[in-house]
Amino acid sequence: MLRTHTCGELRLEHVNQEVTLAGWVQRVRNKGGLIWVDLRDRYGLTQLIFEEDSSEKALLEKAAELGREFVVQATGKVIERTSKNDYIPTGSIEIKVTALEVLNAAKVPPFKIEDETDGGEELRMKYRYLDLRRNVIREKLQLRHKMMQETRKYMDEQDFIEVETPVLIKSTPEGARDFVVPSRTNPGEFYALPQSPQTFKQLLMVSGFDRYFQIVKCFRDEDLRADRQPEFTQIDCEMAFVDQEDILNTFEGLTKHLFSKVKGVELEEVKRMTYADAMKYYGNDKPDLRFDMKFVELNDLAKGKGFGIFDQAELVVGICAKGAAEYTRKQIDALTEWVKRPQIGAKGMIYAKYNADGTIKSSVDKFYSADDLQDWADAFGAAQGDLMLVLSGDADKVRKQLSELRLKMGEELGLRDRTVFKPLWVMDFPLLEWDEETERFHAMHHPFTSPKKEDIPLLDSDPGAVRANAYDLVINGVEIGGGSIRIHDRATQQLMFKHLGFTEEEAQKQFGFLMEAFEYGAPPHGGIAFGFDRLCAIFGGSDSIRDYIAFPKNNSGRDVMIDSPSSIADEQLKELSIQLAVVAKS
Among 1, 31, 87, 371, binds a copy of itself (CB under 8 A): 1
* Binding track, positions 388-427, relative to a copy of itself; x by CB under 8 A: ----------------------------------------
Choose between 186 and 331: whose C-beta lies nearer to a copy of itself: 186
Applying CB under 8 A, the site for a copy of itself has a residue count of: 126
Beta carbons within 10 angstroms of residue 86's beta carbon: 7
Choose between 195 and 401: whose C-beta lies nearer to a copy of itself: 195
* Binding track, positions 41-70, relative to a copy of itself; x by CB under 8 A: xxx-------------------------xx
Cα–Cα distance for residue pair 63/74, rounded to 1 Å: 10
434 is a site residue for a copy of itself (CB under 8 A): no
C-alpha closest to that of 326 among 356, 294, 358: 356
Q: To the nearest whole angstrom, how small is the minimum distance from the Cβ of residue 143 to a copy of itself?
A: 10
Residues in 558-577 that interact with a copy of itself by CB under 8 A: 558-559, 561-569, 572-577
Q: To the nearest whole angstrom, how small is the minimum distance from the Cβ of residue 272 to a copy of itself?
A: 19
Contacts by 166-171, CB closer than 8 A, 24 or more apart: 166/194, 166/200, 167/193, 167/194, 167/217, 168/192, 168/193, 169/193, 169/194, 169/200
Among 16, 82, 83, 104, binds a copy of itself (CB under 8 A): 104
28 is a site residue for a copy of itself (CB under 8 A): no
Cα–Cα distance for residue pair 573/583, rounded to 1 Å: 17
CA end-to-end distance (rounded Å), the chain: 59
Sign of CA dihedral 417, 422, 423, 429: negative
Amino acid letter, 306 = G
C-alpha closest to that of 479 among 309, 316, 226, 285: 285
Choose between 1 and 226: whose C-beta lies nearer to a copy of itself: 1
37 is a site residue for a copy of itself (CB under 8 A): no
580 is a site residue for a copy of itself (CB under 8 A): yes
Among 93, 325, 402, 517, binds a copy of itself (CB under 8 A): 517
Q: To the nearest whole angstrom, how small is the minimum distance from the Cβ of residue 171 to a copy of itself?
A: 5
Amino acid letter, 30 = N
Amino acid letter, 221 = D
Choose between 376 and 548: whose C-beta lies nearer to a copy of itself: 548
Among 89, 91, 175, 230, binds a copy of itself (CB under 8 A): 230
Known binding positions for L-aspartate: 174, 220, 445, 486
Answer whether 319's CB lies under 8 Å from 389's CB: yes
Coil, strand or helix: which one is 429? coil
Q: To the nearest whole angstrom, how small is the minimum distance from the Cβ of residue 216 to a copy of itself?
A: 9
Choose between 84 and 145: whose C-beta lies nearer to a copy of itself: 145
Residues in 124-183 that interact with a copy of itself by CB under 8 A: 127-130, 132-133, 138, 141-142, 144-145, 148-149, 152, 156, 161-171, 173, 177-183
Answer whether 78's CB lies under 8 Å from 98's CB: no
Phi and psi dihedrals of 198, rounded to 5?
-45, -60
The residues with which 188 forms a beta bridge, in sequence order, are none
**CA separation, residue 50 to residues 27, 56, 189 (Å):** 14, 9, 66
